[in-house]
């Protein structure tokens, strides 16, 4: 087993030489910084493309070796380190497969970066709606039946874009069949696997979409692996997608001065996966199961397990997820996100022997639930599957380009049913747009919006929701 960390080792060698800096960055190995000492210590590794440190955009030595190790770890034909998050990988894979006017089939609960890529290119999206899952109370994956119908109706599509797993840790049981059908039609499959970078670490976890033959897979290494924020992986394993095009767009879309701190953390995260053993996976699953059992003994607390063993949902009947999140934070427990019904926890990818204070955290959660139960219940948790019964396959009525030149107006959102959305409205997290420009605004969409507003959700996008106004086509 290859246990090298080429980038980490190269940076450490460089630091030990006690070099003099007459180059960028201007903090000069942290000497000019007034940040706390812990920050300044890290800045000694914040360097640039100097002799011996290679170049992300034209790797020849340590970065090239590290990316080869990455491809080997994940079983890809070619892998890349990304310093712009999964977002830049999502942009690059769509740029490499689509051009202006091309059709692209998109799982409707995709991340905003997918919709931004389509808008930037000028492609024509066809949305395929996911089905509703009663266990997690979330939209999950599209069915094979709907995927097949979309491919058959739009055989000219240049790509299909999946999200796997969902933010909430659910995986599609039909993805292998869906990928195979797309390949029969010579359509590449692009997968936003932001929350699945750890899947390849252990056979006890869910398989990566790479295992099922996906052409391009992008993963947020920082979400579940020990990498820094913005650090991501991109894998290409395809005869349908040109690797050189992917590389070309990554050079255009990523910074010309990539952070070596991010690159080192990616090198280390890859090493973490490569050295992760089946016994490690069994250890975290055992610890998690013990913790879940202990949490379920807390009165009024509901614990929902999902496909991904690192994800866990907590609910308290009669209270919104935002209320539970606020109560948890009074006890210094910070969840990944809250929605109208629950909070989402992301557990650490522990190795055998790693100690994590599960017992102490359980006590804090119990105290938080006690605090919550002393507050007033909410009466707006009425969402059902019917409220999320969206049209299976749909095209926006106007393209992003058309919307840029059409007159718009602001309306109270309760008067907007049947109108065409002019702006994106994105509950964040998770960053999945509720309204996308060009779509017709339906009762289902407005029901979701009203519920999210009533329970305290935070929104990104161009909106005036504090005034209960949204932007529509005039």
Per-residue confidence (pLDDT) for residue 389, from 0 to 100? 56
Tokens at 467, concatenated: 């005034």
Per-residue confidence (pLDDT) for residue 383, from 0 to 100? 46
Per-residue confidence (pLDDT) for residue 386, from 0 to 100? 40
Contact 168, 306 (CB under 8 A): yes
Whether the pLDDT of residue 385 is over 50: the answer is no
Whether the pLDDT of residue 173 is over 70: the answer is yes
Mean pLDDT score of the chain, rounded to an integer? Answer: 94
Phi, psi at 21, each rounded to 5°? -100, 110
Burial of 407 (0-12, 13-18, 19+ CB in 10 A): exposed
Residue 337 — very low, low, confident or very high, per pLDDT cuts 50/70/90? Answer: very high
Phi, psi at 230, each rounded to 5°? 90, -5
CA 439, 443, 448, 449 torsion: positive or negative?
Answer: positive
pLDDT digits (tens, 9 = 90+) for 203-215: 999 999 999 999 9
Percent with pLDDT over 70 in the chain: 97
List the one residue out of 432, 322, 410 whose CA is nearest residue 372.
322
pLDDT digits (tens, 9 = 90+) for 254-306: 999 999 999 999 999 999 999 999 999 999 999 999 999 999 999 999 999 99
Tokens at 121, concatenated: 């290119």
Per-residue confidence (pLDDT) for residue 384, from 0 to 100? 42
Average of pLDDT values for 396-417? 93
Residue 358 — very low, low, confident or very high, per pLDDT cuts 50/70/90? Answer: very high
CA 39: distance to chain centroid? 27
d(CA 369, CA 442): 36
Q: Tokens 């210590």 identify what position?
A: 41
Average of pLDDT values for 148-156? 98
pLDDT digits (tens, 9 = 90+) for 62-98: 999 999 999 999 999 999 999 999 999 999 999 999 9
Tokens at 165, concatenated: 């797993």
pTM of the model: 0.94
Whether the pLDDT of residue 388 is over 70: the answer is no
Per-residue confidence (pLDDT) for residue 451, from 0 to 100? 84
Contact 190, 97 (CB under 8 A): yes
pLDDT digits (tens, 9 = 90+) for 26-37: 999 999 999 999
Average of pLDDT values for 87-110? 97
d(CA 96, CA 241): 7
d(CA 232, CA 364): 32
pLDDT digits (tens, 9 = 90+) for 176-187: 999 999 999 999
Whether the pLDDT of residue 123 is over 80: the answer is yes
How many CB atoms sit inside 10 A of residue 409's CB? 11
Whether the pLDDT of residue 387 is over 90: the answer is no
Q: Tokens 């996008």 identify what position?
A: 461
CA distances to 8, 72, 96, 343, 372 from 131, rounded to whole Å, are 43, 35, 29, 21, 32
Average of pLDDT values for 443-452? 87
Average of pLDDT values for 404-431? 93
pLDDT digits (tens, 9 = 90+) for 42-60: 999 999 999 999 999 999 9
425: three-class secondary structure by DSSP = strand
d(CA 473, CA 406): 7
Per-residue confidence (pLDDT) for residue 75, from 0 to 100? 97
Per-residue confidence (pLDDT) for residue 456, from 0 to 100? 84
d(CA 37, CA 39): 5
């Amino acid at each position: 087993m290859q246990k090298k960390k080429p980038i980490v080792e190269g940076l450490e060698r460089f630091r030990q030489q006690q070099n003099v800096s007459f180059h960028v960055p201007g903090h000069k190995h942290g000497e000019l910084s007034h940040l706390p000492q812990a920050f300044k210590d890290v800045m000694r590794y914040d360097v640039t493309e100097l002799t011996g440190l290679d170049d992300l955009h034209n790797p020849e030595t340590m970065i090239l070796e590290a990316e080869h190790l990455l491809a080997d770890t994940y079983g890809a034909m070619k892998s890349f380190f990304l310093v712009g998050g999964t977002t830049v990988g999502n942009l690059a894979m769509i740029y490499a497969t689509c051009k202006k006017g091309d059709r692209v089939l998109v799982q409707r609960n995709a991340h905003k970066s997918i919709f931004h890529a389509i808008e930037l290119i000028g492609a024509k999206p066809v949305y395929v709606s996911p089905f509703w899952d009663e266990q997690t109370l979330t939209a999950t994956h599209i069915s094979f039946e709907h995927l097949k119908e979309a491919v058959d109706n739009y055989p000219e599509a240049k790509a299909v874009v999946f999200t796997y797993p969902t933010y909430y840790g659910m995986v599609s049981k039909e993805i292998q069949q869906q990928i195979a059908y797309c390949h029969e039609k010579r359509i590449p499959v692009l997968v936003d696997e932001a929350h699945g970078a750890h899947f390849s670490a252990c056979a006890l976890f869910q398989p990566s979409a790479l295992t099922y033959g996906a052409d391009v897979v992008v993963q947020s290494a920082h979400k579940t692996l020990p990498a820094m924020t913005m650090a991501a992986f991109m894998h290409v394993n395809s005869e349908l997608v040109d690797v050189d095009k992917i590389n070309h767009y990554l050079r255009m879309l990523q910074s010309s001065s990539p952070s070596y701190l991010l690159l080192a953390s990616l090198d280390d995260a890859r090493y973490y996966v490569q050295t992760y053993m089946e016994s490690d996976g069994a250890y975290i699953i055992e610890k998690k199961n013990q913790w879940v059992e202990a949490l379920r003994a807390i009165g009024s607390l509901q614990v929902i397990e999902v496909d991904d063993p690192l994800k866990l949902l907590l609910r308290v009947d009669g209270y919104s997820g935002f209320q539970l999140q606020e109560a948890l934070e009074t006890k210094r427990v910070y969840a990944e996100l809250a929605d109208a019904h629950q909070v989402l926890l992301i557990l650490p990818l522990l190795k055998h022997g790693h100690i994590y204070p599960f017992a102490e955290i359980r006590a804090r959660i119990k105290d938080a639930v006690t605090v919550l139960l002393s507050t007033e219940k909410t009466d707006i948790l009425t969402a059902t599957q019917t409220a999320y019964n969206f049209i299976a396959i749909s095209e926006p009525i106007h393209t992003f380009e058309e919307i840029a030149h059409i007159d718009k107006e602001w309306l109270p959102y309760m008067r907007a049913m049947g109108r065409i959305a002019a702006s994106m409205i994105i509950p964040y997290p998770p960053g999945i747009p509720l309204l996308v420009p060009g779509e017709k605004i339906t009762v289902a969409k407005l029901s979701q919006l009203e519920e999210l507003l009533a329970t305290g959700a935070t929104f990104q996008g161009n909106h005036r929701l504090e005034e209960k106004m949204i932007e529509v086509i005039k």
